[in-house]
Amino acid sequence: MDRARDRSSPPHTSAVNATWNSTPKHSIVTSSSNDLRRAIRAFLKVRTSYDVLPVSFRLIIFDTALLVKKSLNILIQNGIVSAPLWDSKTSTFAGLLTTSDYINVIQYYWHNPDALAQVDQFRLNNLRDIEKALGVTPIETVSIHPEKPLYEACRRMLESRARRIPLVDIDDETQRHMVVSVVTQYRILKFIAVNVKETENLRKPLKEINVGSYENLATAHMETPVMDVINMLVKKSISSVPILDRDGVVINVFEAVDVITLIKGGVYDDLNLTVGEALLKRNDEFPGIYTCSMYDRLDTIFDTIRKSRVHRLVVIDETNRLKGVLTLSDILEYVLLEGEGEEH
Ligand code: AMP
């Protein structure tokens, strides 16, 4: 498994130390990958979202009265890409702010460039009006009680195509909402990788299993206008677009989270850049992209998840040309849904 650190150099190997809450290993004796997936599901059914939370963590919640441009700066300053929303008028949880919301704001501005003064004054509670103006399906406000089985949190995420789910409890005294944390696909897959020792048995290479996307891939070049790439993200409901050179060699990936830096401070001029120029705006700490080949096995991919904060792997051939995209949604779906029908 490799990862590329910059735009021009070929991917290279690197490992990141894993820090995680130590939970006893769940030991299951399994023979086939079907048995193993069944075992992972059984494991998720007896664990709750509380189990995946680290010993200590911070939670940043935004009041819906906050200006959109201010929310961008806070996300950047804190190195986060989403935040639960709180309506202080009604003291209720008001959904999860994600990069899709910022992409909606971008699209609104793009279609109404004369309305910059209005866009500048958008607050988080205007996000639903922006959805309506764009005619997009409102982003479903899914959430889950932290004591519900993790399995249910996963199913809810897959059904709503959410990549993260807020944990919302009810305060015993006030009977009001209490946002506990947010659980991501990455956190859950890492929890599985760390605790279900038998992920080692997922020895089949990607070539043999039906996981990931290998056809009709959305791709772009360094010269592609960044707005075209943002439109691809929306049109295909995906969170990344591989960037190729003229020979089809993968040189980078534009990620949905990259839009946050593009419009920071509420300045929309960078939307006129090409992808190559936009990628230069990335923070120096950008960890690089992860790649794998069709011959990599799912157990080695779980190993990477255990060690590093990976969100997707670009599948390449021996000449670094694009073959496919394997995201955490694909892996979660494979583990949770494949063969699930046979159980019932
Ligand atoms: P994601 O939201 O990135 O987890 O991806 C959602 C689904 O779209 C997964 O099945 C991915 O394999 C697929 N996908 C992700 N990126 C692309 C892309 N650039 N082109 C085509 N499909 C993709």
At 39 the pLDDT is 87
Ligand 1 centroid to Cα of residue 121, in Å, is: 33
Write the DSSP symbol of residue 61: -
Are 150 and 336 within 8 A, CB to CB? Answer: no
**Which of 229, 235, 329 has the most ligand 1 atoms within 8 A of CB, as the residue to mutate?**
329
Q: Check whether 123 has a pLDDT greater than 80.
A: yes
Q: What is the mean pLDDT of residues 177-182?
A: 94
Sign, CA dihedral 151-153-157-159, equals positive
In this structure, CATH architecture of domain 2-28+197-329: Roll (3.10)
Q: Check whether 265 has a pLDDT greater than 90.
A: no
Q: Which amino acid is at 306?
A: R
Domain residues of the chain, as ranges? 2-28+197-329, 50-191
Task: List, in sequence order, every residue forming a beta bridge with 297; answer none if it has no partner.
Answer: 205
Q: Give the span between the Cα atoms of 331 and 315, in whole angstroms.
A: 14
Q: What is the mean pLDDT of residues 297-305?
A: 93
At 341 the pLDDT is 61
At 297 the pLDDT is 93
At 139 the pLDDT is 66
Please identify, by atom number, the ligand 1 atom nearest to the C-alpha of residue 240: 16
pLDDT tens track for 223-233: 999 999 999 99
Question: Given 3.30.70.890, 3.10.580.10, 3.40.120.10, 3.40.50.1110, which CATH number is that of 50-191?
Answer: 3.10.580.10
Please identify, by atom number, the ligand 1 atom nearest to the C-alpha of residue 238: 2
Q: Decide if 2-28+197-329 and 50-191 have a common fold.
A: yes
In 3D, which of 66, 72, 64, 82 has the Cα closest to residue 143?
Answer: 82
Ligand 1 centroid to Cα of residue 132, in Å, is: 25
For residue 216, give both structure tokens.
């009709």
